[in-house]
Amino acid sequence: MNKSLFSNKIVLALIAIVLFLLTAFLFYYQFGQLQVAREAVREEQQQLNQAKVRLQELVAIKANVDIMENNLAYLERRLPFQPRQDDIIKVLHSTAGQSGTHLTNLRFGNEASKDGYVEMPLTLSYEGRYHDVIALLQRFDQAERAFRVEEIKLSKGRGDFPELKADITAKAFYIKE
């Protein structure tokens, strides 16, 4: 009986040790899983913050869509998808009239393809007073078409002083389709 009681105590002790080890293992495993879950929560929080920032950017873009559409329409007028030389002629005559100068010569040169756009060389001659020529150049910057003035040569005009002749080398542009 004594032996049986002793063996029952050993079995109970072994069971207690196994239960203790099993509990320790489960505690360790759960602690590891808790760390993994916390890391997953941190990653999800970062992704959520990034999504919030992106959403704010999209809301800002949506709020500015009218401005962007107006800017796009403005740029498409300044850089059309076709040469539209007749529009260039109208713009050049209009800027001359608005600035008080007279367009006396207009020639188109050979187009040059660039990366995504085409340059159209222009040779222009205007006559007017010095201040009118300056006003003309300012109007080029505000014109419906984009122009780049490359060279200006001033000389005496056909009329009396203070009439000037301005020979202008410029370029107009359009987008390649």
pLDDT in tens, the chain (177 residues): 567 767 777 888 888 898 888 898 888 889 889 899 999 999 999 999 999 999 999 988 888 888 888 888 888 888 898 898 999 999 999 999 999 999 999 999 999 999 889 999 999 999 999 999 999 999 988 888 999 999 999 998 887 777 899 999 999 999 987
Give the three-state DSSP class for 60.
helix
H helices of the chain, in order, are 2-63, 65-78, 85-99, 130-142
pLDDT value, residue 1: 58
The answer, yes or no, to whether the previous bond of 83 is cis (omega within 30 of 0) is no
pTM beyond 0.85, yes or no: no
CATH number attached to the domain at 85-175 = 3.30.70.60
Phi, psi angle pair for 100, to nearest 5°: 85, 15
CA proximity to 86, closest of 152, 167, 144, 168: 144
